[in-house]
Structure 1
Amino acid sequence: MPIVLSLLPTKPVPGLVENHASYAQQHGYQHVVVDGTHIYGERQQVLHHYHCMYQQLLNLAEGDLLLVLDVFSLIYTPHALDAVATGYDSIVSLTNPSPDSQLANSCGMIFRSTAEIRERFYALLHDLGRWAMYLPEHAPKIEAQILGEFFPPISFMRHLTSGYFPCLQSFWHSGDTATGLSYVIDFFAQAQPLVVSNAPEWRQLNGIWAPNPDYDFRYVQALLQDAQNSAAQKQSLLQSFVQQTELPLEPELHINPDAEIAFVSLYTRNITGYGLLHERSMLRYCERHGYGYHLYREAPSFLPDSVTANWAKAHLIRQHLAQHQFVLWIDADILAIAQASGMEDLLAKRDFIVGMDHTAWAINSCVFGARNTAPMQAFIQQLCQRIESVEDKSSVYVGGGDQQIINEEMIQASLLNAENVVDAISLGTSPIYATAQHRFVHFPAQLNHFRAASMQAWEQLST
């Protein structure tokens, strides 16, 4: 009897283990769940995983199959294992289909219990043990490299000889000079793979291998939703995103214009797929607390010609500061998750507020604001003038973007301190830190479809 093995080094998203179990039950396979949350240490967790895989390989009858799943992977289309693996004794996918990438993806692997595979796995375990103990010849490597040495990975962008796709990875960095990012989530409904994954991608930075610091494994929740949509022949995430960008919308929306506290935001037509999620979330939040909300769905005419939508944060604060006691900019890739948590406690003793970033930045300009006082009016005016003086505003990130300018101007005005900069948890929380109890959750630096899918999954927590 084939075995479906679920490896859980950390808490899985709701419904993931049920997805694995349902597949096993549908085909009459044995389902084995391994809770590894008690294992301490990154390399010890990895070694534990492979010992568990080896144990199950030894438990299989000769020729039976083992499917390895984890917290990053799920069954997308419930094909029979023997159909997918016809002609293969092992199937391991690449993490990235680029020609220069040879890193193996440990999600969605399939192994056939044969004498040759068991011997190879035994040798792999021996090398992983030496790696886990940081022996000199193995210490610089990562799991994906060692796995690939024993089970050479194959591209997930090509069919297997059986006619199926191997485990499809949803998101990776590519050599594309425009974005540096690629994704196949739009392809899932057509490809109908057995397994899809959103495994953390490892890259070499300054000679050190490291995973993506912004990785949010709970994006798997969106993949689960897409798999359910596919099974029910409903819209894919891509179709939903595209339809949103085609909706007829008014250029502006203003509520509670006389409120003491107000938010301003802007999103343009190309990001409507997630801009509408932000809008609905903020409308509920502001209506609940009586806050003002000034939303622009296109760049307003009062912006100077040199200021594009990506650089308009300070100008929108300046436009509405006289109407309210405190005005805050909020990015369109933010959701108000803990809807009951108001802003009064954070603003009570501050004339300016911004949050720390969860990475190397001193601040993150996703949410920042000022009180309607003469000094703050002057500071916002200075920010606007500085932004207008920047010659290259061709993208949101060029030269560090407006975030770099806000950082520099705060230093100049002696505002970059603990009095004005709150922690990275309380204001614009990254998904890697956030829970349903956090006020605002920020989804930065993602492709539009990826971001929309992430936000769609998270929005359910606030309703």
Structure 2
Amino acid sequence: MLGGFQSLASKVFMLVVSLFFDHAPGALANHRRYARMHNYRHVQIDMSQQSGSAPEKLWTYKYEVLLHELKRIEPGEIVLLLSENAVIIGSTPLPTLLDGRDWLLTCAESPLPQTDIQLWRNTERVRRKLLQVVTHCRFGVELPPDEGQLLCDFEALPSRHKIADAHVVVPAAANLESVWATWSTFSVCIADDKHHRRFRAALFAHVNERLTRSLPLLSFPGTEACDTEPHSVYQPEQAIAVVTLYTPNVARYGRIAEANFRRYCERHGYTLYLHREIPSHLNDGKTAGDWLKPALLREYLPRRKWVFWVDADVLFNDMNRKLESIMHGHDALFARDVGTWIFNSGIMGFKRTQQNYDAFQRILDVCGQLPDKSSVYVNHDDQHFFNREFKEHAGFDATHIASFVEWNTPWSYRLPDSFMVHYIGAWEDNKALLMDYDVTQSAME
């Protein structure tokens, strides 16, 4: 991988190529920003109409484009090839990244090189080796399962490799820790998971806006204005109440939810019981906040006609729709879980009945016998016990449970008219990023 080419390269021509097989305006704006920062030429190639094509069509075109651009520039000059899943966070110039090298490939999540961010110097050796890659992804040739295998003859730097004191490429996905925001990072590649388009749009919008305003990544201006008392009650003495709790360790997204809940409840005249930490009378020092749902519901139910539990990783997306619209004459309201549970316990509604009150007590009694409630995921979490209790009720009919399309909609299925959106399955900081993005989107829709 090391070549004899030394980087007196401050005068070497630089080309940034954005080759997209999917629509990603945030990525394009980001690539343009980096190119303009260093006065590099930027070329955009939009092949989004081919996004549903078979891999051989995409890969063949991608590496033909790379060879084509290399042949158009002078020997020794540099091409940065970026996909729609790449975003540049740092400002390191290309000659510094490629100093002493003919190419720069890095691994991200596997021993194979990631292919969203590639840096190449125009040399005879590079072009000959890339011609072999092109030959290996022609129509009619059996392809490897991973694009990175096409580049297996090129040495790749290991993951977490740093140049100029910055990690060259850091992977990101909704369910991965957001280390790209805390490490010194040059670029980020989005893992191609089932949620990546929604997450990609949110991440790139966040990065671009924070870089433009010179604000820290994962900062959310405006949420600092939230109250700081352990417990607040808004619009007291209303017939319908919303109850939620978030602890300081998840306040980054909890504050976004709080502002949203307050606006919603003020609009419709609902009481909001908001806990910013575990209530002192329920705090044994060993129990995570999620396990307190039955206790808080039992505490507030006698005071109201209806009480809704809403997790702090939820947004009221359709601010005009009332909770009354989903009551449908039932005494307990649930929506189907996207996973294997009968219903999801992140949003639930309960009418003031003795049956519901007694159900909360039974859940408390069973959970009180558990040896460990220190996190959400031990002992099947609270969802198991709510499901077990209510499915045993006389008259319980799973067909009467609402579709998550109607409410309690997972964030990856959000539409402009979704009622309540639940940011399940995302890393905590990414929940805040996605929620902040959707609050902005809702204001524009």
Same fold (TM over 0.5): yes
Given candidates 146, 150, 155, the residue that maps to 1:142 is 146
Structure 1 position 40 matched with structure 2 position 19: no
Structure 1 position 290 matched with structure 2 position 269: yes
Instruction: Specify whether residues 233 and 323 from structure 1 end up closer, same or farther in structure 2 by C-alpha distance, changes over 3 A only.
Output: same
Q: Which amino acid aligns with 2:440?
A: Q
Report the equivalent of 1:338. Answer: 318
Q: For the residues of structure 2 that align with 1:227 and 1:39, how far apart are their CA atoms?
A: 24
Q: Which amino acid aligns with 1:187?
A: T
Tell me how far 1:396 sits from its aligned partner: 0.3
Structure 1 position 94 matched with structure 2 position 107: yes
Instruction: Specify whether residues 312 and 38 from structure 1 end up closer, same or farther in structure 2 by C-alpha distance, changes over 3 A only.
Output: same
Report the equivalent of 1:107. Answer: 116
Structure 1 position 20 matched with structure 2 position 49: no
Given candidates 215, 223, 232, the residue that maps to 1:234 is 215
Structure 1 position 8 matched with structure 2 position 11: no
1:136-180 deviation digits (Å, cap 9, x = unpaired): xx56x3334x145133332352323x666423334698xxxxxxx
Q: For the residues of structure 2 that align with 1:74 and 1:58, how far apart are their CA atoms?
A: 26
Bigger Rg, which one = 2
Tell me how far 1:46 sits from its aligned partner: 4.6
Tell me how far 1:249 sits from its aligned partner: 1.5
Q: For the residues of structure 1 that align with 2:153 and 2:421, how far apart are their CA atoms?
A: 41
Given candidates 172, 178, 185, the residue that maps to 2:180 is 185
Report the equivalent of 1:166. Answer: 168
Native 8 Å contact 2:288 2:375 kept in 1: no
Structure 1 position 279 matched with structure 2 position 265: no
Given candidates 363, 382, 396, the residue that maps to 1:415 is 396
Q: For the residues of structure 2 that align with 1:362 and 1:68, how far apart are their CA atoms?
A: 46
Structure 1 position 154 matched with structure 2 position 157: yes
Report the equivalent of 2:5. Answer: none
Instruction: Specify whether residues 401 and 41 from structure 1 end up closer, same or farther in structure 2 by C-alpha distance, changes over 3 A only.
Output: farther
Report the equivalent of 1:251. Answer: 230
Structure 1 position 72 matched with structure 2 position 85: yes
1:335-373 deviation digits (Å, cap 9, x = unpaired): 223322332222234332222233444432221222223
Native 8 Å contact 2:26 2:201 kept in 1: no
Tell me how far 1:37 sits from its aligned partner: 4.1
Given candidates 358, 366, 384, the residue that maps to 1:378 is 358
Native 8 Å contact 1:362 1:407 kept in 2: yes
Secondary structure at the residue paired with 1:68? strand
Report the equivalent of 1:351. Answer: 331
Provide structure 2 residue ranges, at least 5 long, that are not aligned to the other structure: 1-12
Native 8 Å contact 1:407 1:416 kept in 2: no
Q: For the residues of structure 2 that align with 1:247 and 1:339, how far apart are their CA atoms?
A: 19
Q: Which amino acid aligns with 1:419?
A: H
Q: For the residues of structure 2 that align with 1:5 and 1:264, how far apart are their CA atoms?
A: 50
Tell me how far 1:58 sits from its aligned partner: 4.4
Q: For the residues of structure 1 that align with 2:57 and 2:359, how far apart are their CA atoms?
A: 50
- Name the count of aligned residue pairs: 426
Secondary structure at the residue paired with 2:409? coil
Instruction: Specify whether residues 441 and 54 from structure 1 end up closer, same or farther in structure 2 by C-alpha distance, changes over 3 A only.
Output: farther
Instruction: Specify whether residues 33 and 24 from structure 1 end up closer, same or farther in structure 2 by C-alpha distance, changes over 3 A only.
Output: farther
Within 5 Å, which residues of 2 pair with 1:262-273?
Answer: 262-273=241-252
Q: For the residues of structure 2 that align with 1:364 and 1:46, how far apart are their CA atoms?
A: 39
Instruction: Specify whether residues 457 and 362 from structure 1 end up closer, same or farther in structure 2 by C-alpha distance, changes over 3 A only.
Output: same
Instruction: Specify whether residues 89 and 302 from structure 1 end up closer, same or farther in structure 2 by C-alpha distance, changes over 3 A only.
Output: same
Structure 1 position 199 matched with structure 2 position 191: yes
Q: For the residues of structure 1 that align with 2:349 and 2:336, how far apart are their CA atoms?
A: 14
Q: For the residues of structure 2 that align with 1:307 and 1:78, how far apart are their CA atoms?
A: 44
Give the TM-score, by structure 2 length: 0.82
Instruction: Specify whether residues 448 and 357 from structure 1 end up closer, same or farther in structure 2 by C-alpha distance, changes over 3 A only.
Output: same
Report the equivalent of 2:7. Answer: none
Q: For the residues of structure 2 that align with 1:378 and 1:183, how far apart are their CA atoms?
A: 42
Native 8 Å contact 1:278 1:335 kept in 2: yes
Give the TM-score, by structure 1 length: 0.80
1:412-437 deviation digits (Å, cap 9, x = unpaired): 236361212x2233322222222443
Native 8 Å contact 2:26 2:208 kept in 1: no
Tell me how far 1:121 sits from its aligned partner: 2.5
Q: For the residues of structure 1 that align with 2:388 and 2:196, how far apart are their CA atoms?
A: 28
Q: For the residues of structure 1 that align with 2:331 and 2:57, how far apart are their CA atoms?
A: 47
Native 8 Å contact 2:16 2:40 kept in 1: no
Secondary structure at the residue paired with 1:167? strand
Tell me how far 1:252 sits from its aligned partner: 1.1
Q: For the residues of structure 1 that align with 2:85 and 2:137, how far apart are their CA atoms?
A: 21
Given candidates 239, 243, 254, the residue that maps to 1:260 is 239
Native 8 Å contact 2:243 2:274 kept in 1: yes
Provide structure 1 residue ranges, at least 5 long, that are not aligned to the other structure: 174-180, 201-210
Q: For the residues of structure 1 that align with 2:150 and 2:324, how far apart are their CA atoms?
A: 52
Q: For the residues of structure 2 that align with 1:428 and 1:265, how far apart are their CA atoms?
A: 15
Tell me how far 1:267 sits from its aligned partner: 0.9
Secondary structure at the residue paired with 2:347? strand
